[in-house]
Structure formats: structure tokens, C-alpha cells
A and B are shown apart, each in its own frame.
Chain A
Amino acid sequence: MWLRFKRDRTGVICAWVVLGYFLIAALAPVIAKLYGKNPYTLYGQDPEYATDNPVLDDFGLPLGYFGGVTGEHWFGVEPQFGRDVFTMLLYGMRTSLYMALGVTTLLMVTGVLVGLVGGYFGGRTDYFLGRFTDFFLSFPQQLFFIAFMPVVTSFFVDPRDETPTYFRALAILIVLWLLGWMGMARLVRSTVLSLREREFVEAAKVAGASPWRIIRKEILPNVVSPILIQFTYLLPSTILSIAFLSFAGVGFVEPTPDWGRMFATGAKVAEQDPAFMFFPGVALVVFVLCFNLLGDSVRDALDPKSGR
């Protein structure tokens, strides 16, 4: 399997790119330090900094070409505040990737558990789990993301107080988790349902295996590849969801750097400063594309019968 994967050129390149993203995200503070900027300083308004290196003109737009790209600010600066785009992107990716990783893992675990149990035990258990899944599926996701975020937040935090950032993260996690695990559960359930009838499961039963052992040793290995494949599709879509939340204004707020919110800002200033959208956009497209391609390669590699 590993060998098969290594032979797949696209897969390997994409794997490196994706790995690179995670590495950059993980090392964001280190990189920012070496680079000498941080995502919180308002370089445009800081009187000390601005007199030596003016980054914004009188209208609050970046000086110079392409959104103010200079040796000092590689990806330019943000209009109005003059924050450094490069570090904002670094930290923004960090927030998004970590959140997405957390959310996706939760989704997978929940979905796989629900699917395995429902599919294997069948009968009444399956019936109730199935209705439960349907119930969650019936929510219009996008709407509820937006509608539920404030609800969840105010549930734990007094609306008059300032919501701490970690709490916003938690709220995003909860909402995305509650509304996202169903697809996985359905996939696993249907796979398990067809596996359960196979004779090798009966063979294990005849040998006296416990249900738990059958699930673990006989069934789980057979659903690993659909799970992995689903994971590679889920992660980028979760990143997009998180970006969407921030874009819609219910995710992270200022000053937490966030990928999604950069798009929101980008959209606002698109007419005056189209370049601002460029770097976050390219970064996102490359990432999602690579991750999806990686998913395809993983699927090919996992199939023992694919002829590659």
C-alpha cells in the first residue's frame, strides 16, 4: 500500500504540500519572529513605525504596488489598519487548520461510532440511531451555523461580557460537530451493514469471537479506507465551513487572525485593493485542491486490487 502510494506522483507532491501547510501553521510564531512582524501590530497607525516606513496613504490604502508588497511586508499590508498580511495569513492558517483538524476528528469519531454500532447491531438500535441521524440531517446547515453560534455562545457566556477567544473556538467546534457527523455515520453504517452479512463475520462468530472483537478485527479494517477517504474530503470542507463562519461574522472576531475573516475584509475592500484577497485566496485554493487530490491518491493506494 505504501509502495503503491509512493508511485503516485501527484499524491506524493500533494502530501508534501499539505504537510508543508501544517508545518507552516505549526511554526507560525517562529516564522513570524524571524520575519520580524506580528499580526497584531497596526503598522499603518503606529506613529513610531509609520513615520519611518509609511505603509498607508492618506485614504488608508496601502502604498506601493500590489497591496503594498515590499521587502518589509512580503504579502503587502492590510488597508486601513496596515497590519502585515504575511503574518496574518500565517496565524490565520494556524487557527483554521487546527480548528478544522479538531472538528474533523470529532466528526469522524462520532460518525464512525454511531455508524458501527447502528450497522452492526441492527434492529432497534439501528432504528433509533437512524432516526437520530435523520433528525440532525434535517437542519439546514448553513443557516443553523449562523443562527446557532450566538446561541451556543450565550449559553455559556454572559452576553454582556466579552467572549474569550478560546470560547469562540469551542462554540465553533460544538456547532460544526453537532451538525456535521451525520454523513460519516451514514457512510459507515451502510458499509458495515453489507459487511455484517459476509460469511467471514459468521466464521468469526462460529469461532466464538465477541461482538467487540468482530467489530474491531473483522469489520473496522474493512471500513478504514472509506473512513480515510472521507477524512481527506471532510477536512478541506471543514476549513471552508470555518472560513464561512468567520466570513459571515459569527466566527472569530478581531483581533484574532483568521483565514475566513481575511476574506471578509478582502471582500469589503475588493474595489480599492484587490490584491489583499490574492494571497489568502491562493493559499486556500492550493490547500483545498491538494488535500482533495491527496484524498484521491489515498483511495487508490488503499484499494488492494487497484492495479497500480
Chain B
Amino acid sequence: MKEDLVLPAPRESAAGGPGEPLLVAEGLTKHFPVKGGFPIRRTVGHVQAVDGIDLTVHSGESFGLVGESGCGKSTTGRLITRLLEPTGGKILYKGQDITHAKRKGLAPIRSEIQMIFQDPYSSLNPRQTVGKIISGPMEINGIDPAGGREKRVRELLEIVGLNPEHYNRFPHEFSGGQRQRIGVARALALEPKLIVADEPVSALDVSIQAQVVNLLQKVQKELGIAFLFIAHDLAVVRHFSQRVAVMYLGKVIEVGDRDSIYTRPRHPYTHALLSAVPEVTLTDEEGGTRERIRLAGDVPSPINPPSGCRFRTRCWKAQDKCASEVPPLVRIDGNRDGHLTACHFPEEPTIEARGQDVVLDPALAALEKPDKD
């Protein structure tokens, strides 16, 4: 996999101008061994959770990472925060190689890369008060803000829209949305430069999702923190990210700035994802009804991914070449700068009506029929 790593910065950017690359991942790979066999357990295969992905996050930028469940998004996030040890590839933070850095070596960087977790119920220690949870990272890193840690925690609580008086409460006294705010406050406590947010709203009620996304957006804009925002559908990311990468089965298959991905997608999978987003208003100017694509079957097993293009088992444009050659992630004709697609036979850069539905799943098609009359 080769690609031009230096992506142009997004045109519109928050916090005063695009920064230089803050975090660069090159060919990042994580394979989990699959153990099996009796009586001696040995490795019988590998889950190729993340297989050679390249990402660049600029400082102050919010970068969206989208893909179906199980495609390796969380694994990517965990690799970048160094919760997992990469099997291969490189992670550079501000040009410094942190791929295999140990805990001690990471110490200076730890405070700059923080994480917001998916499940607000398991991400807060039930035996610690809110104050302890939020001041924990400061304590670990020996940070003593002016006015004391408690004052800082109260400030943080205020920033994330909670009552500072909640300092001595326990997590179980809060709702899911409030808990997630506590998680945000904890991530902010170290004044990080990059926050990896792993599906921070998908466990929340729809009505609260918007509030939390708005909070994150506010934080990102006002504090100029770069975000790696992980989500499983394109709708959430749309309002949040300047650049978006789409993942499928451990690979990045398309990456580009927001406009390119949402209005000029090239990869068939991106098309499919977009058509699954009910809300993405395919604006009136463009007119016409949306094409509807329904993907057949499940994502193939990451233990034995399809040869060549990993999407070929579900792609309606697949040809022989797709099985034999891995499509490189490159800028293809008709793409704007920095819009890279990994496909041999890309779609038109449009999201206009296709005239007819592409329904790839016979079962789904059968289901749809009665509705039509």
C-alpha cells in the first residue's frame, strides 16, 4: 500500500489555521492471534483487525473515522492511544516515533493524547467520586494547576456543562449523557492536543447525542484540540469533521475532506454508506431522489479477508481484477486534492439519483416489495 502521505489541509479549519501533521500513522497493523487447538493451545490464525492503514491528523483538526461494526475502528483508536501494541507500521506524534514506546517513554506524550470512551457506564470507576475521576489524570502526571486541582475540576465541570457542585457525587447518580460529559472533562483535564473519541455518542439516546456532539464541537473549536472522531455512520461525523476516512475490514478505503466524501464519493462502499444515512440531506439543488443501496450479507470474517479488494464480496461492480489486485489508496482522476480512493472501478463523483435502486440483498428486496404499492 502506497500513498501520498502529505494531505493538504482542509480548506476551512477551526482554531485559526491548519496545523502541521500532529499524528501520522503509516501502514499501521494489528493482528490478534486466534488461539485454538487441544490440548496444546497454539495460534491457528490471525484476526486482521487493522491491516496497514495510513492516517494523518493535523493539529486542531477534527478527523472522522467511519465504518461498519467490527471493521477495526476501535482497534485503530486504541493503537493510536497506545493501549494496544501495534503488530506493524509506525505511529509518529509530532515527528517522534512512539510505535513501541513503553510507559516511561510515553510519559511526556501521555498528557497530549487522551481518549473518550464509547460506554459511559463502564468508563467511569463506580467507586470514585466525580472529583477523583477527573483529577486522577492530573494526579498521575503530577500536574498542579494554579488554585489547586479541585478548582480546576470545578472549572472543567463547568466547561462540559455540569454543575460544579457535583464534585462529590458518584457516577451512578448521573444519566448516560451526564456521564459522558464527565468522561469529556476527564479527557480535557490534561489539556491534550489530540483526543481520540471512540463512538462517544453511540451509546446515548438520540435526543442527547446532539448535545454531546455540540459539546465536543465547542471544545474542539474553542480549545483547538484535534479530534479523531470514530463513528459507525456518516451522519454523526458530518457535522463534526473536516476530513473523513472510511474504513472497511481493517483498511481505509476512502479518505478526503468532508465535501469530497459527502458529495463526491467515489468508492462503492462510501456510496452504500451514504445511502444508508437517512438524514444526509441530499440537498434540493441536486434534486432527485437518492439512490438506495442495500448491501448483501455480513462483513466477511477478518480472519480470512477476501483477496484483492476486501469489499469485492459485496460490491456490485466487482470484476476479476478486484480479486487479484489490491486497489491502492490513491488520488484517482476526478478527485480533488487529498481525496484518495482505493478502488479499481470507482463510481462517478456524484450522489445523484441512479434512476433505480441497487438492491444487493434478495431478502431485503423481497421485504421492500410490499411497501412499494
Contact = CB atoms under 8 A, between A and B. Distances in A.
A209 B140 contact: yes
B125 A218 contact: yes
A204 interface: yes
A7 interface: no
A249 to B, nearest CB: 44
29 contacts: A198-B123, A199-B117, A200-B122, A200-B123, A200-B124, A200-B125, A202-B78, A202-B83, A202-B117, A203-B115, A203-B117, A203-B183, A204-B136, A205-B83, A206-B114, A207-B136, A207-B137, A207-B190, A208-B106, A208-B107, A208-B111, A208-B137, A208-B140, A209-B136, A209-B140, A222-B125, A222-B126, A222-B127, A304-B170
A213 interface: yes
A214 to B, nearest CB: 10
Given A207-B136, A305-B172, 18 more contacts: A198-B122, A199-B119, A200-B123, A200-B125, A200-B133, A202-B78, A203-B117, A203-B186, A206-B83, A206-B110, A206-B114, A208-B106, A208-B137, A208-B141, A221-B128, A222-B126, A304-B126, A304-B170
B113 interface: yes
Contacts of A203: 115, 117, 123, 183, 186
Contacts of B172: 304-305
Contacts of A213: 140
A305 B126 CA distance: 10
B2 interface: no
B260 interface: no
Interface in B324-341: none
A212 to B, nearest CB: 11
A200 B110 CA distance: 16
Contacts of B186: 203
A138 interface: no
B81 interface: yes
Interface in A188-206: 198-200, 202-206
A210 interface: yes
B103 interface: yes
A202 B115 contact: yes
Contacts of B122: 198-200
Nearest to B186: A203
Top 4 closest pairs, chain A to chain B, by CB: A208-B110, A207-B137, A199-B123, A221-B127
B43 to A, nearest CB: 14
A203 B180 CA distance: 13
Contacts of B126: 222, 304
B62 interface: no
Nearest to A202: B83
Nearest to A222: B127
B59 interface: no
A213 B139 CA distance: 11
A206 B128 CA distance: 17
Contacts of B115: 202-203, 206
**Residue among B78, B81, B125, B136 facing the most chain A CB atoms (10 A cut-off):** B125
**Residue among A200, A204, A218, A305 facing the most chain B CB atoms (10 A cut-off):** A200
B103 A221 contact: no
A14 B128 CA distance: 29
Contacts of B117: 199, 202-203
Contacts of B220: none
Contacts of A205: 83
Interface in A47-104: none
Contacts of A305: 172
A208 B192 CA distance: 13
A221 B113 CA distance: 27
Interface string A289-308: 00000000000000011000
A213 to B, nearest CB: 7
A215 B103 CA distance: 16
A98 to B, nearest CB: 32
B118 interface: yes
Nearest to A198: B122
A222 B229 CA distance: 31
A202 B183 CA distance: 12
A97 to B, nearest CB: 31
Nearest to B78: A202
A227 to B, nearest CB: 13
A281 to B, nearest CB: 41
A122 to B, nearest CB: 13
B170 A207 contact: no
